[in-house]
Amino acid sequence: MKKSEVPQKAGLSDQWHRIAYAVDPDGEYVLVESDGCDSVNISNAQAWELIEDRIAKVRQQVERGELSPLAFYMTAYQMDEALLSQYTSQFRWQVKRHLKPKHFNRLSDKQLQKYADVFEITIDQLLSPPAENNE
């Protein structure tokens, strides 16, 4: 692809720039910033739709008392039990257990603060996830 043909269609990722290889007028390969193309923008939009749907489902489960608020933040930050356990220096089974409301509700402030620090929120925010469309 020639340098002048590098796609520049901004989309969801217009705040980031990708680097593409292109051929300059002298026939040399150069790095060129690209704002993206339709296929990238469409796939990003579809991926974010799926993520937002998953967050909405988990939010409903938290509201029904099936999952703890920790599950909401873990989903919103696209983390799994293994990753969150690494960030909090806990065992994976402990994180999994804390996804259940009855165990989460018994956590000490020190344990809650570990989770709050990972998500860069307060303990109060951790205890009650934001209402829909307030993320």
DSSP state of 11: -
Q: What's the confidence (pLDDT) of residue 79? A: 96
Both 60 and 90 in a single domain? yes
C-alpha–C-alpha distance, residues 59 and 8, integer Å: 36
Both 71 and 88 in a single domain? yes
**H-helix segments, 8-37:** none
Residue 3 confidence (pLDDT) above 70: no
C-alpha–C-alpha distance, residues 76 and 53, integer Å: 11
Cα angle 69, 75, 81; round to 5: 90
Q: What's the confidence (pLDDT) of residue 2? A: 61
Comparing CA positions, the residue from 63, 64, 66 lying closest to residue 131 is 63
φ and ψ at residue 34, rounded to 5 degrees: -135, 135
Instruction: Provide the domain count of the chain.
Output: 2
Its domain, for residue 22, covers 3-36
Cα angle 125, 87, 98; round to 5: 55
Both 22 and 51 in a single domain? no
Both 22 and 63 in a single domain? no
Q: What's the confidence (pLDDT) of residue 33? A: 76
The string of pLDDT tens digits covering residues 53-105 is 999 999 999 999 999 999 999 999 999 999 999 999 999 999 999 999 999 99
Both 17 and 66 in a single domain? no
Confidence of residue 131 (pLDDT cuts 50, 70, 90): confident
Both 80 and 61 in a single domain? yes
Comparing CA positions, the residue from 43, 53, 102, 97 lying closest to residue 76 is 53
Both 53 and 93 in a single domain? yes
7 vs 62, residue with greater confidence: 62
Whether 81 is in a domain gets the answer yes
Whether 26 is in a domain gets the answer yes
The string of pLDDT tens digits covering residues 11-56 is 544 555 577 778 888 888 888 877 666 677 788 788 889 999 999 9
